[in-house]
Amino acid sequence: MDRSKQKQHQQNEKQAASAGDSSVNGHFDGTAKITNRTGLPLAGSGETSGQSSSATESWREERTRSLEDNEMSLPSIAAAYTAILRGLGEDPQRQGLLKTPWRAATAMQFFTKGYQEKIIDVLNDAIFDEDHDEMVIVKDIDMFSMCEHHLVPIFGRVHIGYLPNKRVLGLSKLARIVEIYSRRLQVQERLTKQIAVAITEALQPAGVGVVIEATHMCMVMRGVQKMNSKTVTSTMLGVFREDPKTRDEFLTLIRS
């Protein structure tokens, strides 16, 4: 790694840290590794479960949920939670549960608030022409999502790198892209790819790499009950896919 890249990396780290992200050591230890490299053009990887055509859906065709939609649907979601409580053998009328359906409904809307936002709104005014051609990395972006198969949390960290081609994105916007896609019902493989595709479409960079390390509560609390298992997914596009040196530099930097 040459000095300018080192410097760029340190700057990025500093900026990521000031944006509230923290770095953690040894975060690759004891992980179950699923490598999901996908290149351009965007084709399904064929190795993931629950992969749908929406995996490659462009953010340009997004539809969003409005605050009015939230208000309208809150009573029916709350009623559904009342039915769930009854179905679990609970008494929805007992004191501790009286407000639970409404709280749960409001919380679920918050957990999925990524549906209320569009990537394009985030990108507005945040793309800059810049003659910068060194790798830009923001790592350890905290991520909270919901498994679409079990409706329980997925949480972990996202690492993003890209090699600009005359255009760069405000660094905090990378974390915003993560937020918008993660606050939806997801599978980790699709989340990884959507982040990479959004950056590719916005910046047309020479390449993009996205790595997500996450814990799935559906694995930890049920099923195999592996407390410390982590799932690692990656999407590499452009030179990150084609050039092993670029990819290795990225992977080395996010582990350092």
Q: Can you give the binding site for Zn ion, defined by CB under 5 A?
A: 147, 149-150, 218
Catalytic residue (one of 188, 189, 213, 249): 188
Q: How far is the CB of 54 from Zn ion (least distance, A)?
A: 17
- Buried b / exposed e over 84-121, threshold 16 CB at 10 Å, is ebeeeeeeeeeeebeebbbebbeebbebbbbbbbbbee
Q: Is 188 a catalytic residue?
A: yes
- For residue 231, give both structure tokens: 């799932």
CA dist 153 to 148, 169, 220, Å? 9, 29, 10
Q: Is 149 a catalytic residue?
A: yes
Q: Is 61 a catalytic residue?
A: no
Q: How far is the CB of 185 from Zn ion (least distance, A)?
A: 10
Q: How far is the CB of 196 from Zn ion (least distance, A)?
A: 22
Q: How far is the CB of 112 from Zn ion (least distance, A)?
A: 15
Catalytic residue (one of 90, 116, 134, 218): 218
Give the helix ranges, DSSP H, for the chain: 3-18, 67-87, 100-111, 119-123, 171-182, 188-203, 217-220, 239-242, 244-255
Longest dimension (CA), the chain: 66
Identify which of 25, 17, 27 has the alpha carbon closest to the alpha carbon of residue 172. 17
Catalytic residue (one of 8, 109, 147, 189): 147
Q: How far is the CB of 161 from Zn ion (least distance, A)?
A: 28
Q: Is 9 a catalytic residue?
A: no
> Of 102 and 144, which CB lies nearer to Zn ion in the complex structure?
144
Nearest position to Zn ion, beta carbon: 218
- For residue 193, give both structure tokens: 């790819």
Q: Taking the C-alpha atoms of 78, 82, 83 and 87 in order, what is their torsion angle to the nearest 10 degrees? A: 140
> Of 84 and 97, which CB lies nearer to Zn ion in the complex structure?
84
User: CA-based angle 233:157:5, to the nearest 5?
Assistant: 90
Catalytic residue (one of 9, 27, 159, 216): 216
Catalytic residue (one of 134, 148, 201, 242): 148
> Of 114 and 238, which CB lies nearer to Zn ion in the complex structure?
114
- The CA distance from 211 to 151, in Å, is 22
Q: Is 147 a catalytic residue?
A: yes
Q: Is 148 a catalytic residue?
A: yes
> Of 48 and 82, which CB lies nearer to Zn ion in the complex structure?
48
- The CA distance from 188 to 40, in Å, is 19
> Of 33 and 149, which CB lies nearer to Zn ion in the complex structure?
149
Q: Is 194 a catalytic residue?
A: no
Catalytic residue (one of 62, 134, 150, 201): 150
Q: How far is the CB of 224 from Zn ion (least distance, A)?
A: 12
> Of 126 and 220, which CB lies nearer to Zn ion in the complex structure?
220
Cis amide leading into 101 (omega within 30): no
Which residues are catalytically annotated?
Answer: 147-150, 188, 216, 218
